[in-house]
Copies of this chain bind each other. A is one copy, B any other.
Amino acid sequence: MPNSSRYIYMAGVMKALAHPTRLFIVEQLNEGERNVSDLTTMVGIDISTISRHLSILRQAGIITVRKYNNQMIYSLLCPCVLDMFRCVVQIRESQND
């Protein structure tokens, strides 16, 4: 039953969020649109790696992109993922008992 397309799809979205750098990117995009160079500077790793992280988030339907001159401007599609973060914080706090 877990191999139904529903669970596979959901796992795909969660997997896209299951990386520190991608979570950071999502939070940054929640503040506003960013291009690849800006995100690269903030994160401090190779630009090609950032580009791949962005591609993963985009394919998962979490972010979108538009072209502006020779730049790619990324922005958050579903701010509801920020609510997920709140749940995670709840889990973390409930741990310390």
- Which A residues fall within an 8 A CB radius of B? 1-4, 7-11, 13-15, 17-25, 42-44, 60-62, 77-78, 80-81, 83-85, 87-88, 90-92, 94-95
Total copies of the chain: 2
A88 to B62, CA, bound (A): 9
Q: Which residue of B lies closest to A81 (CB)?
A: B87
Are A20 and B43 CB-contacts (below 8 A) given A61-B91, A90-B78, A91-B62? no
Are A88 and B13 CB-contacts (below 8 A) given A1-B43, A20-B3? yes
Q: Which residue of B lies closest to A77 (CB)?
A: B94
A44 to B24, CA, bound (A): 36
Are B85 and A10 in contact, CB atoms less than 8 angstroms apart?
yes
The 5 closest A-B pairs by CB, nearest first: A2-B24, A7-B20, A15-B18, A80-B87, A14-B18
